[in-house]
Amino acid sequence: MTIHAAFHSVHHHTTCTLHVEHPAGAPPAALFEALAAAGWTRSRLPVSRRPGDREEVAFEKRGSGFLGGWSVEETEETLAAARAILAAHAVSDVPLYNDPLSGAA
């Protein structure tokens, strides 16, 4: 199963959402559980259909700052932890910061 991921900056640009793309009907349950254990929650956004019979699910994690924004320290810690989780679950293209999913508008 090929899984892709991307971080998308959220307005006021002090936090990101994490978007995970996977084959339709086959969500990576172990990855989603690991993200939940690290404090990431499913976004209120509905699952998005993607080309090639794929789905995209968004996750978010609130920080301690204004409107749930992340401090500089939280940003580094949160993104490093998320990248480690993604790598541990064989995500094919672990993103750095604001890398869009391929084919994203």
6-59 pLDDT per residue, tens? 888 877 778 889 999 999 999 999 999 999 999 999 999 889 898 899 999 999
* DSSP H or E segment with residue 78: helix 72-88
- Give the pLDDT of residue 90: 83
Distances (CA, A) of 43 to 7, 65, 72: 13, 19, 22
Contact (Cβ atoms closer than 8 angstroms) between residue 20 and residue 94: no
Residue length of the chain: 105
Residue 66 has what DSSP assignment? Answer: G
Q: Tell me which amino acid residue 81 is.
A: A
Cut 0.75: pTM above it: yes
User: For 77-105, what is each residue's pLDDT tens digit?
Assistant: 999 999 999 999 988 777 665 444 444 43
